[in-house]
Chain A
Amino acid sequence: AQSVTQPDIHITVSEGASLELRCNYSYGATPYLFWYVQSPGQGLQLLLKYFSGDTLVQGIKGFEAEFKRSQSSFNLRKPSVHWSDAAEYFCAVGARGYSTLTFGKGTMLLVSP
């Protein structure tokens, strides 16, 4: 069975500082990996995805993520965080594209002035 672990429940970052959110997955085959962002009381917005090819993927809002098969990781990064980035971030793994996604428990990002 597939699973996703986001080890950090909360992270606080100063505005302008760099950000890395961790995600580890467990899946028997080549995974489809996703990062979503959720603002309070809202649905999810896709930030980026990895299906195949280049292991460093670029997403919206200046986010990027790197797939490392040897570490079973798909960490999300941003070089300079803005206050509007404060939200909850979910990593997800899918067996076949978007067919059925398994989500991590999420990491709440707080941005301090």
Chain B
Amino acid sequence: GAVVSQHPSRVICKSGTSVKIECRSLDFQATTMFWYRQFPKQSLMLMATSNEGSKATYEQGVEKDKFLINHASLTLSTLTVTSAHPEDSSFYICSARRQALNTEAFFGQGTRLTVV
């Protein structure tokens, strides 16, 4: 399968600061990337869908001004958590998919964000 890499795998930041998480497709061009959030002992909740070169589509209840998503190239999408608060602490996972609709979406290894 194809490889999707997330960086960093773990990050600790202070309240009020911003943190950027990168999601890269290493060996394929990802026209669509998805960002999920996973709370402890909970399932993955889709936050947003981003298509290369266009604005991300956010799920209901997700603050677009707080979770900035950029998908500027076919191999990179970034999620920036702005003015982070402790309640933003979570596990963030991205997935990336090639152009065709029914192709598999490959998941990154996730980023554990802790806001102190």
Contacts and interface: CB of A to CB of B under 8 A. Distances in A.
* Interface secondary structure of B, over-half rule: strand
B110 A41 contact: yes
A90 B93 CA distance: 14
A7 to B, nearest CB: 13
A38 to B, nearest CB: 9
B54 interface: no
Nearest to A106: B43
Interface string A45-86: 110010100000000000000000000000000000000000
Contacts of B93: 43-44
A104 B44 CA distance: 8
A49 B105 CA distance: 12
Given A96-B101, A98-B97, A99-B101, A105 B109 contact: no
Contact of A98 (B4, B9, B103): B103
Contact of B6 (A43, A90, A101): A43
B contact residues, range: 20 to 34
Interface string A87-101: 000100000111111
Nearest to A101: B46
Given A51-B102, A98-B97, A100-B49, A43 B108 contact: yes
Contacts of B97: 98
A46 B4 CA distance: 13
A105 B104 contact: no
A17 to B, nearest CB: 25
B104 A98 contact: yes
Nearest to B94: A43
16 contacts: A36-B107, A41-B109, A43-B93, A43-B109, A44-B93, A90-B43, A98-B103, A98-B104, A99-B49, A99-B101, A100-B34, A100-B49, A102-B46, A103-B43, A103-B45, A105-B43
